Amino acid sequence: MRNDIKVIIYASDASQGSWRAFDVAINQAIKNKAEIVYVHAIESIKTITSEASYSYLPKGIEKIHSSQRKQETASKIRERIQRFALVKFSDLGTPPKFSINIEFGPPEKVIIDVAEKTNAGLIIMGNRKSSPFSRMFLGSTVNKVLQTATIPVLMVPLPNGLEARKKLATL
């Protein structure tokens, strides 16, 4: 079998506990001599700024405010991801090629779109345990990506919140 994995999509919400899946992405990138493209999707800006505030703003100001908030939010997230990656790469002699892609939209769509644009050979995502009841009604980004991806998807079980906070405190 030929190795076609030259780009690995690592999709994450940058939350506590995501280091475990990133470690898997790093290991796979090293084994395959592949680039890691860190994908972070941000839902509608109205989930970042309360919808109530929009009803009080004139239309033109709303668009300017929305654009500024998007840029500020993406910049802060990019800085956080860069710090996270520096810590993770610090012990490696030669870290894999790494880039960050932050886009606005439904996470599953953003992940699939970036995978297609970059000709990725693998998507790696973390998944927290959730109840069957919540998965049935809400679904999850991982489930949606699994249903629509045309390339392999590796799902990495992530720790619960308490375990994640303990690990984060050691960084």
Q: pLDDT tens digits for the chain (171 residues)?
A: 455 899 999 999 888 778 899 999 999 999 999 999 999 999 865 544 555 555 555 666 556 657 778 888 899 999 999 999 999 999 898 999 999 999 999 999 999 999 999 999 999 999 876 666 555 554 589 999 999 999 999 999 888 654 544 544 454
Partners of 126 in the β-ladder: 156
The CATH number of the domain holding residue 39 is 3.40.50.620
Contact in structure between 154 and 29 (CB atoms under 8 Å):
no
pLDDT of residue 26: 97
The pLDDT of residue 68 is: 78
Residue 64 lies in a domain: yes
Distance CA 79, CA 69 (A): 15
The answer to whether residue 56 is domain-embedded is yes
Domain assignment present for 106: yes
Structural domain total, the chain: 1
SS3 41: strand
Among the listed residues 123, 126, 130, 128, the one whose alpha carbon sits nearest the alpha carbon of residue 156: 126
For residue 12 the two structure tokens come to: 């994450």
Contact 3, 32 (CB under 8 A): yes
Q: Is 60 part of a structural domain of the chain?
A: yes
Q: Are 127 and 17 in contact (CB under 8 A)?
A: no
Structural domain includes residue 122: yes
What is the extent of the structural domain holding 111?
7-170
- The Cα 131–Cα 137 span in angstroms is 10
Residue by residue, DSSP assigns 47-94 as GTS-HHHHTTS-HHHHHHHHHHHHHHHHHHHHHHHHHHHHHHHTT-SS
The answer to whether residue 2 sits within a structural domain is: no
Report how far residue 85's alpha carbon sits from residue 88's, in angstroms, rounded to the nearest whole number: 5
Helices in the chain by DSSP H: which ranges? Answer: 19-32, 51-54, 59-89, 107-117, 132-138, 141-148, 161-170
Residue 32 makes CB contacts below 8 A (sequence gap 6+) with: 3, 5, 6, 8, 121, 122
